[in-house]
Amino acid sequence: MSKAIEVLHLSKLYRLGSIGTGHLSHDFQRWVAKVRGKEDPYMVIGKQNNREAGGKNDVVYSLNDINFSINQGDSVGIIGRNGAGKSTLLKVLSRITSPTSGSVKVRGRVASLLEVGTGFHPELSGRENIFLNGSILGMRRHEINAKLDEIIEFSGVERYIDTPVKRYSSGMYVRLAFAVAAHLEPEILIVDEVLAVGDAEFQKKCLGKMNQVSTNEGRTVLFVSHNLTAVESLCNQGIYLDMGRLVMQAYTADVVKEYVSRDLSAKRMIRSTAERAIGNEHITIVEAAVENGSSENPSDILDIGSDINLKLTVINHTKEEYLSAGFDLKTAKEDVVFGSGSKIYCPIGIPTVHTCTIPGNFLNDDLYQLDIYFHTQGMSKLYAQRNMLSFEVKDQARANGFLGKINGMIRPMLKWS
């Protein structure tokens, strides 16, 4: 299969707070080195783009020695934390900015949707900007005319199509810009998180169009999003960036699992300490733990078939002996699987243990988080904590046989006949 994009040893260097090196002579030396094919003399080797840490140097790598290739027709999701270098990578691939070092080969016409209003002239109408964007992509007027009605209908801004786009809202901008990018038949479609500006209905419409472009029309799609569910459903390949470096390129499900597992370390037990009590003036959580409750599989591993016990040891500081306790079980991607709650007897001032059992053969092979909360019987809020506990359920039998994960959030054992 032919390669749509090839990236070799790509790096992008930025000097914080200034443009260029700060000296005309230094900028000239950089230009001379580039013309001669030599290394930039003012590059600083090994600096990571870690936004959480200070540094003695004002030079950072937004991208650092990245290598990957993308086949024609692939739909690729690019994920990572804020500041990982995702948007910079798309700008380099779109030729909006040039790399500091390395090479990028892009085969085919590229349509990019990176920021609201990118590629639009504010004084021109929506209709005129459609023709302008088509011309930039190298299309002839009759080719654009053939797609014009379809673009306008998809965008949903027909009433304002002859109005200058400087009067458009950000949502209208994105609607028209995406419609243009998706319908003018580029070989490569690049879409950043800019779709988040649109409403839920339009986002769904865009995801459907990107899926059609990739699956049915064989065009290449690069999609940056923090919505991991959308990335998994749309993309067959994933790229994970962290602090400007390429961590992983593989099947999307594997990349997403690596990303969330790094971001979410399993925390199956927490305890209150003398230095830090968990709770408030109403409730103290002495201990909270997720335990293997299956006698058939007594190991510490939470297997698919294991019963899972959520144990809460609490001290009640209210004047009521009966309270309401509950939890929300979520995936690592923050999708709620289910919630549960119950009235509990909680003597005032005495530590009591309360257990809720999730049966085996119910949860799927995945990472999970627990939000814990307490209320009065009248449902007045007493205490709540998001992501108090986290744990992983493993399907050891399928993992050993390399069969992969079964689809879905839950995996009940059902009877077949």
| 17-38 pLDDT, tens digit each | 555 555 667 667 777 777 777 7
pLDDT surpasses 80 at 43: no
Q: Which of 1-15, 158-172, 318-332, 396-410 has the lowest mean pLDDT?
A: 396-410
pLDDT at 325: 96
What proportion of the chain, given as a percentage, has pLDDT over 90? 37
Confidence class for position 44, pLDDT limits 50, 70, 90: low
Q: What is the 3-state secondary structure (H, E, C) of the chain?
A: CCEEEEEEEEEEEEECCCCCCCCHHHHHHHHHHHHCCCCCCCCCCCCCCCCCCCCCCCEEEEEEEEEEEEECCCEEEEECCCCCCHHHHHHHHCCCCCCCEEEEEECCCEEEECCCCCCCCCCCEHHHHHHHHHHHCCCCHHHHHHHHHHHHHHHCCHHHCCCEHHHCCHHHHHHHHHHHHHHCCCCEEEECHHHHHCCHHHHHHHHHHHHHHHHCCCCEEEEECCCHHHHHHHCCEEEEEECCEEEEEEEHHHHHHHHHHHHCCCECEEECCCCCCEECCCEEEEEEEEEECCCCCCCCCCECCCCEEEEEEEEECCCCCEEEEEEEEEECCCCEEEEEEEEEECCECCCEEEEEEECCCCECCEEEEEEEEEEECCCCEEEEEEEEEEEEEECHHHHHHCCCCCCCCECCCCCCC
Domains and CATH numbers, the chain: 72-262 (3.40.50.300), 269-401 (2.70.50.60)
Confidence class for position 362, pLDDT limits 50, 70, 90: very high
Confidence class for position 353, pLDDT limits 50, 70, 90: very high
| 400-416 pLDDT, tens digit each | 555 667 888 899 989 99
